[in-house]
């Protein structure tokens, strides 16, 4: 487990500060990650990589000449946010295009894809190559759904060498795809890893057993077998990978990767058994690598990667490179202080490193800042801010349980991500309220903050949900219940499109759709409050919202519990199939918790002399 920390929430910021200071020969800190501290003599395509922290040397340790130009550093086991990726990419861009490359995980895909769209809109040509080397995470028929593990190194090295050679973006992309297509990996674990500040590991392996097919984020393996001897393990790894040989090439690069606490002596012992097995199978081994290239904190485990070479890839694999964690050969050509910032002092490095994951989110709706909000909109914005604060309290209390649910078939970080995202959203909403903004701006800034700090899939999704809802609160007056219902339904459509999910996939959508459906049904059947009066002459809007929110929350809670019967079809839990059956989806459960907090907020306490409903009745009498 991680023993050296101050506040677990500051772990990545503190680590990033130290890394930038210690590795200034190769990198300098920018908001969202690190970029090269040197530049080649001529502009090249820029390779931007990234992912969650906790995998060093992936991803920050692979930035330098001949490798990546920059990396976006997410929180522990969580993808970087779109804002972080954009910051790093803009800092790296040299005018010849940007290639994104990262492991094939839902949160990374969502956030990098958003960043790619934004960069293209700005006129920066951007491409993406996702790494899909893990043979156990999907079948050969669905190879595009496989996740990336230690094969990241192969793709980054080939793409970095191609960029260093001055090739155009089309060629750098093509060669990176070829490297990915010709790379396969398999991982095993003997014990789980523990997140900073956590008391228990994300998963455990029974004594005397070994997990096969684990993920680098702590996803449990797909099978457990009796602990093998070293030679038995070598035979297992080699035989499983050779079945996956992409073609008849007989020249391979073997990469034996330690995942955290398997020591180098053990890795070398194992490699000494792997090497002859590959040679006996008729392979010629090229530049083997043994060490730590993609870890998982303190996981006791390892992985074997094979790259099947061809005439294009072999010279690129052999090309010299230099970074904080992976260096080979002597670099030719000039590598000068970077023109996009140059050498910086230790004090400047420290300030920049502190901003990697701790920077407060910037305003996401600047175009509206100079437009004064009406008194009604400001009041509504303050109420929304109060509601988001209540939601943050609920999710803070539930973080442990949500993490437990997520650890059954996922990586166990859903609770932490929701906790961080909602707290950041509450702070942003409060700041917007203090600045005198109305409801739309309060929601928009809350959504951007949630996406930026929450990270991962849930951060990106909730950023989109809240951002979509914001459009329903534009204008100077309070929206009618029907308008709120329309905004909720728009958020449903956004999640479907953005997340690429449908009801039944065992995701947040399984609870969001019943919530939206019941909210709309109640508004329609009760009357949307647009007349401002009900049959008794009272302002009916609060009561309509209370009924709609209460019914919708009940529907969401029932739907969330029903996801226990489903098999996960999306996200990290997908590769574990039936393992998720019997446990409700943590994303659906957290949505139901948020729905309950909303219902509680909207439900008027008619017995209280201070309630809005009671005050209105008293005023009219």
How is residue 134 annotated by DSSP? Answer: B
Catalytic residue among 217, 335, 414, 437: 217
Q: Where are the alpha helices (DSSP H) in 500-585?
A: 509-526, 541-562
User: 619, 408 in Cβ contact below 8 A?
Assistant: no
Which spans in 373-508 are helix H?
Answer: 375-407, 414-434, 439-454, 456-471, 481-499
Q: Is 209 exposed, middle or buried (0-12, 13-18, 19+ CB in 10 A)?
A: middle
**In a 3-state reduction of DSSP, which class is residue 399?**
helix
Q: In what order do the strands lie in the sheet with 70-76?
A: 27-30, 33-36, 70-76, 46-53, 98-103, 126-131
Give the C-alpha separation, 547 to 391, whole Å.
Answer: 19
Beta strands in 124-197, from DSSP E residues, in sequence order: 126-131, 183-191
Distance CA 199, CA 220 (A): 18
* 217 belongs to the catalytic site: yes
Helix pair 481-499, 541-562: axis angle to 10 deg: 30
Distances (CA, A) of 558 to 190, 246, 584, 596, 603: 38, 46, 11, 12, 19
455 within 8 A of 80, measured Cβ to Cβ: yes
Token pair listed for 14: 């503190």
Tokens 């297509």: give the residue. 181
Q: How far is CA 543 from CA 293, 379, 489, 521, 612, in A?
A: 58, 19, 20, 15, 11
Q: Which residues are catalytic?
A: 217
């Amino acid at each position: 487990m991680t023993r050296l920390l101050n506040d677990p929430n500051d772990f990545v910021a503190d680590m990033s500060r130290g890394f930038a200071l210690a590795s200034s020969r190769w990198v300098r800190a920018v908001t969202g990650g690190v970029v090269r501290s040197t530049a080649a003599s001529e502009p090249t395509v820029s390779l931007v990589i990234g992912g969650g922290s906790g995998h060093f040397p992936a991803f920050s340790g692979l930035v330098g000449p001949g490798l990546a130009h920059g990396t976006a550093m997410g929180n522990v086991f969580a993808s970087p946010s779109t804002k972080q990726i954009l910051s790093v990419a803009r800092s790296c861009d040299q005018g010849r295009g940007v290639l994104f490359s990262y492991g094939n995980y839902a949160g990374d895909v969502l956030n990098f894809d958003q960043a790619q769209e934004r960069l293209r809109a700005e006129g920066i040509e951007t491409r993406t190559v996702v790494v899909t080397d893990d043979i156990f995470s999907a079948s050969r028929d669905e190879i595009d759904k496989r996740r990336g593990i230690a094969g990241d190194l192969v793709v980054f090295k080939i793409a970095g060498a191609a960029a260093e050679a001055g090739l155009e973006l089309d060629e750098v992309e093509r060669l990176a795809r070829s490297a990915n297509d010709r790379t396969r990996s398999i991982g095993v674990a003997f014990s789980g890893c523990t997140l900073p500040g956590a008391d228990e590991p994300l998963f455990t392996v029974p004594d005397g057993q070994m997990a096969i097919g684990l993920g680098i984020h702590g996803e449990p393996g797909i099978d457990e077998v009796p602990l093998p001897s070293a030679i038995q393990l070598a035979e297992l790894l080699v035989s499983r990978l050779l079945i996956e040989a992409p073609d008849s090439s007989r020249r391979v690069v073997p990469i034996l990767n330690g995942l955290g606490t398997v020591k180098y002596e053990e890795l070398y012992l194992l490699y000494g058994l792997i090497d002859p097995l590959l040679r006996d199978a008729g392979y010629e081994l090229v530049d083997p690598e043994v060490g730590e290239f993609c870890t998982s904190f303190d996981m006791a485990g390892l992985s074997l990667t094979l790259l099947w070479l061809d005439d294009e890839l072999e010279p690129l694999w052999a090309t010299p490179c230099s970074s904080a964690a992976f260096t080979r050969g002597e670099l030719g050509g000039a590598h000068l202080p970077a023109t996009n910032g140059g050498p910086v002092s230790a004090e400047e490095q420290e300030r920049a490193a502190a901003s990697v994951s701790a920077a407060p989110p910037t305003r996401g709706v600047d175009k509206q800042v100079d437009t004064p909000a009406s008194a009604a909109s400001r009041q509504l914005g303050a109420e929304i801010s109060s509601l988001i604060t209540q939601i943050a309290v609920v999710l803070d209390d539930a973080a442990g349980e949500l993490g437990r649910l997520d650890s059954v078939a996922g990586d166990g970080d859903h609770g932490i991500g929701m906790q961080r995202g909602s707290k950041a959203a509450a702070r942003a909403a409060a700041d917007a309220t203090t600045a005198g903004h109305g409801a739309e701006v309060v929601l928009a800034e809350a959504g951007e903050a949630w996406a930026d700090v929450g990270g991962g899939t849930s951060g990106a999704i909730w950023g989109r949900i809240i951002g979509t809802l914001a459009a329903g609160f534009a204008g100077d007056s309070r929206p009618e219940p029907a308008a709120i219902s329309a905004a909720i339904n728009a958020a449903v459509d956004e999640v479907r499109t953005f997340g690429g999910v449908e009801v039944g996939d065992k995701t947040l959508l399984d609870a969001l759709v019943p919530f939206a459906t019941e909210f709309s049904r109640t508004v329609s059947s009760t009357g949307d409050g647009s007349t401002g009066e009900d049959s008794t002459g009272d302002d009916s809007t609060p009561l309509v919202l209370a009924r709609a929110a209460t019914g919708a929350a009940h529907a969401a809670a029932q739907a969330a519990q029903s996801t226990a019967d489903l098999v996960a079809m999306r996200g990290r839990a997908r590769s574990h199939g039936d393992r998720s059956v019997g446990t409700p989806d943590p994303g659906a459960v957290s949505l139901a918790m948020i729905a309950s907090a909303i219902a509680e907020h909207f439900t008027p306490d008619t017995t209280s002399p201070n309630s809005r409903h009671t005050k209105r009745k008293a005023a009219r009498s």
